[in-house]
Structure 1
């Protein structure tokens, strides 16, 4: 049983509920404290028995140490499971540690043993780690244990040469106990506070994510309603333009006929966009999902942007390797198009798009030679209405990009190129795109 395997198990919980992950980390702290306690007890028993010649019930004390070691092994085995660690389990772990300490003290002088104040360490950890009800239980357990040890214990049989110096030995033991408790409290309470702080940060992130997703839901409802409203006038315009194209006045004038054809193409493009909005909103799901491949999916997006934005040059490099089958997601296509459109707006002359594979992830990079992102834009990257264009209502494109990619388990990063221009990188897990499990998708990670 290794701490490395336990660490890998905890890594799987990075996206779990913050309270769940924090409880597991706190249980790990108790395991580490128990190792320290066992090592300290062995050193103390050896020093008292060999250094001072004090007779101790070594067999019984050894059995208690073995019990603590077995408890640690069982706890490590428990943490191999991804089931959440409960507050009751933390309470039981602390209670068993206190019971083990009580047994050792019973065998070595009871409450007269200066190390009896180690109970305060367990009480402090219980108050910090556990809710009020369990914390009160820990306090009651400690008080009862200490009270019992004042009456029932095996007295220490000190050699005659130490009998006259008993009080000095007791003071030395209290000093050692005080130093140990102070050091352990400073170390472990600080680490527990760090775990709680990380939990609070994660909770704040989840609240922010929930607010953003609620914003997206409202935007989706508005977009769906607008798409419904726009469908009828766009269809009417298409019919009128088709009728005009047949009229002699327009049919006999090549210039007017060409302009009508351009108008019809743009109207039909608007209708396709409206249809895409309805598809993304889930209102036209009667058709089976479209199956495509990585090369075809991203190549079609780039070709579509080249046709729609007939300015400059959009270079495309496909370094993915094998042409993995994936499902064409209209929402993903829309947000990827938004990233390229933003790059074209900032850099009309040239935009570069590349797709590659990194382990179990697909990485799409869009870079340009425009002015790049400002520090303020990067600081608020992915937040709604964070735009460098200075127009009301803008800045939703990258907000939608970040949230759609996050829904797929990926991430979006932005920065500036050393030679000038901006770069936006989208990392998507292949498991979220591929049909079935993609081979080599990071099992070794």
Structure 2
């Protein structure tokens, strides 16, 4: 038993704000210009000021061109954003070439475009920009203008330059890879939470439609009854040869047809659990969650057990609980060989639902990671993306549940969902004063209750 998916994960990159990239570049332009002026005029180091400021001015000019040609709030695709950051890498490399190459302590800023790319672009774009940065670092290690100095130019040992090169290359690879993996995890979690919200909204709409149908059937019952009474009176009192007799009979038959339609609406609403605010026994809630999967070639066995003096808990038909249980039951049915057992236990303190199947069970290497988004053993075969268990666990935990996943000794997967009864139950009921005898009962989903033999 494993999870199913609702949506495929989005690409790690999406529309990227041009405004954000332009602001980042303005910060870099101001910092570069101030650094050149302070080092040259304030500290007295002889920099090639004109070429260096020309390089900085080229970035400022490009920013102005982008602001004029493209709207300030425009969104860039991945290709445009990658080219934008690629230009920043080359601009910084040219500036470092003019000011000492890897001898310049500001050479560490070569990591900045890669870091920005890792947070917003796809893996391919990050790899390409990392390769460009490493190539630029390698060129700067071999060819560059001397580092400006007040007296004789400093001579850096080749071993020191090699160490700086290795450090920058490793930093580029590590920071780019690590930040991309963290950002990708955040994006995947965001998409999974969006799928959870979508599933919850869908379940809430289903519940609302059922409640609306029940309310409509109730409200229309009285006027329809009045119409039926009047129609019966007309049919009885009109003579046989009256030109209105046929119309009265038609009115009576159609009112009867409307009555049957309303009765069916009310019946379907009850099967679905009715209003999301309706209180119902926990066994009825589980049966409603299992109902969509009863005709899939797998036998569903529903069993309940409680304390000798314990009444069955009454719970609200929460969309979170309904969708979470439905997802877990669906997974069990998909992987079961012949049957799925759903057993409910309760006592004065807790309510527990256990779902077990006779399938292959959870893969041992995934057992400790169940509940993570996009975790599925069927992703490459049936296009399942692995959101089912994540959505079920997220929704059930919102209701205060705790989930545990393991494998049965005889084979098959097993899921235990437990609640604090005081938090789950919607009403307080007096306990019977006389003890009852212990009991246990079970049923197939479409059969009546029968004792366990």
Q: Confirm or deny a common fold (TM above 0.5).
A: no
TM-score normalised per structure 2: 0.39
Q: More helix per residue: 1 or 2?
A: 1
